[in-house]
Amino acid sequence: MNAEEMRVAALSILRTIAPEIEPAELVPNRPLRQQVDLDSMDWLNFLMALHRQLGVDIPEADYRKLVTLDDLVGYLLGKQRG
């Protein structure tokens, strides 16, 4: 997957958690959880869906690296290569 494909995949998974979001309105370099209003359960569900659909396991210690959508896409791409 390239960065654009990864972004689309992550957003489509995010929409299963928060169906009301408009991907076009998300600012990719601003904190994601505030923009989408995700509580810790939503966040965990999001990570579980990423795990299920993309096969990426994100350790809890890495949560703090995943603030923005850009962070997330970069992280997922890195995991894909590693």
Partner 1 sequence: MIEFNLPSLGADMDEGTLLEWRIKPGDTVKRGQVVAVVDTSKAAVDVEIWHEGVVHALTLEPGQKVPVGTTMAILREAGESAGQVEAMRKQRSAAKLPPLAAHVEPGTAAVSAPHREAPAAARRPVSPAARRHAQELHVELEGISGSGPHGSVTVADVDKAAAAHHTAPLDRKAEMRRAIAAAMGRSKREIPHYYLSQDIPMQRAVEWLLRENEKHAVTERLLLGVLQLKAVALALARTPELNGFWRGDRFEPGAGVHVGVAISLRQGGLVAPAIHDVDRKSLVELMGSLADLVQRARAGSMRSSEMSDPTITVTNLGEQGAGAVFGVIYPPQVALVGFGRVADRPWIDDTGAVRALPVVTASLSGDHRVSDGIRGARFLTELHDRLQRPEEL
Contact set with partner 1 (CB under 8 A): 18-20, 37, 39-41, 44-45, 47-48, 51-52, 57-61
Structure tokens at 31: 């904190």
CB closer to partner 1 out of 4 and 39:
39
Half-sphere exposure of 8 (CA within 13 A, CB side): 5
Smallest distance, Å, CB 45 to partner 1? 7
Sign of the Cα pseudo-torsion (15, 23, 7, 68, in order): negative
CB closer to partner 1 out of 18 and 77:
18
